[in-house]
Amino acid sequence: MITGLATTLRSVKLARPWGAAVPYNHVIVCRVTLDDGRVGTGISWTPQIGARAVQALLDHDIREAVIGLPEHPAQVWDYLVTHLSEAGRGGLTSIAMAGVDLALWDLHCGERPLAEVLGARRESVPVYGSGVNLHYSLDELVAQAERWKAAGHTAVKIKVGRPDLGEDVERVAAVRDVVGPGTALMIDANQRWDLFRARRALAALQPYDPHWIEEPLPADDLAAHVELRRSVGVPVAVGENVYTVHGFRDLLTAGACDVLQPNVVRVGGITPFLRVAELARAFDVPVYPHLMMELSGQLALALHHPAMVEQAEDATLADLGVLAEPYPVAVEGGLLRATGHPTRWA
């Protein structure tokens, strides 16, 4: 039975800022105590907005709600999603719920690795090089692509969506030249386009063989995603800013995407992530977890469809200082493998 919940807010300076407005990522460490004295640790995460609001939800409404509940992750998650619905079923609410869910999964796993508990289906998954690089100069972007190539990545992702489409074309062409034709090159617009601009941009970028276009449109514009996917030949990847299982259901039933990218914190934890993955399996759509490489990698090892995992340069959970060694996964030669160690939060 749950007897306590405590939080600590950490603001971690990024080695490579995600632009002038995002020099930090914010992590709320959540510790859940049981009546037998065991303590489980989880995290909530916001790169820029809402960390103190998330912490306030955890410290007040969520703490009061979970005291006395059993330590079963799905039971607690289902109770909280109803209890907190007045505050919204996504956004800051689900981010806060993730801290509790991950802490309960930490307790559930004990000394076993998450990948083992879930049932790993494969020994390794490919890792793609990634970074928040729209603000990089062309030379900085090329240098980053060269680092990815040298590290053995067979797939890389860069940001697009500059005001001048010609700059996007120049930058994508330069990265394609560095990584070569045999490397998958994904492009990510981070919701910067409308339908008209997305069509024009993808037509201009088609010669560089984009593996997918990620978040081309506002995340909640379902109809536009359906129309874009219908009218272009580039696969559409969405999901990092979709917060509910119902939101993913709507994307799938509408035929709005080719790839789903749930973020394990933004959806509310491992419990809802697994539900999203089962939905996607029913629609035969692959799930490529977003960021959080040390957690996402273990989830990807257990997914039905083969997946790739995103390794954001200098912004993994280890880089943010919230994991203790030995780490649960290791990356070498562009592949992620489980190390056999449990996830230990710092």
- What are the catalytic residues? 159, 290
Helix 245-254 / helix 270-282 crossing angle, nearest 10 deg: 10
Q: What is residue 85's DSSP assignment?
A: G
Are 292 and 263 in contact, with CB atoms under 8 Å apart? yes
Assigned token pair, 339:
């190390």
| Residue 295: count of CB within 10 angstroms of its CB | 26
- Residue 27: phi, psi to the nearest 5? -125, 130
Q: Is the dihedral of CA 281, 285, 108, 265 positive or negative?
A: negative
Assigned token pair, 17:
């800022």
- For 324, residues 6+ apart whose C-beta sits below 8 A from its C-beta are 344, 345, 346
DSSP per residue over 40-54, as a string?
A: EEEEEEESSS-HHHH
Task: Say how far apart CA 338 and CA 114 lie, in whole Å.
Answer: 9
